[in-house]
Amino acid sequence: QVQLVESGGGLVQAGGSLRLSCAASGLAFSRYDMAWFRQAPGKEREFVARIKWSDSTTRYADVVQGRFTISRDNAKNTSYLEMNSLKPEDTAIYYCAAGNGASLSAQYPYWGQGTQVTVSL
């Protein structure tokens, strides 16, 4: 069974940093793109970042560009999202996803259950 388990969410003050982790099991991790999405209350799920399996190229949503960094450790079957200069508008449930795609949710068949990130003033 494929499992993606997020961790590292929590409360942080504006301007602070947080690192999310996504531990994957049950799939050939090194052959899957890994991505992060987020969803705030009452809003649509939105793309945050993606890292390719083939060449580790990255892509970011404009609103997080320069503040967030996605990475992966294939030996540990783990993806990371380093979040810096956090803003209250970054508050959301953050989801880890695995698949082969870009910024569309439908391109990722495997999802974690999410981890809450709350940024206070």
Over residues 86-100, mean pLDDT: 97
Cα–Cα distance measured from residue 3 to residue 6, given in angstroms and rounded to the nearest whole number:
10
- What does the pLDDT average to over 96-110? 93
> What are the tens digits of pLDDT across the range 24-51?
999 999 999 999 999 999 999 999 999 9
Quick check: 101 pLDDT over 90? no
Q: What is the DSSP string of 1-52?
A: --EEEEE--EEEETT--EEEEEEEESS-GGGSEEEEEEE-TTS--EEEEEE-
Q: Give the pLDDT of residue 6.
A: 97
For 48-79, the pLDDT digits (tens) are 999 999 899 999 999 999 999 999 999 999 99
Average pLDDT (94-102) is: 93
Q: What is the mean pLDDT of residues 18-24?
A: 98
pLDDT at 93 over 90: yes
What's the rounded mean pLDDT across residues 94-104?
A: 93
Q: 22 is written with which tokens?
A: 């996504």
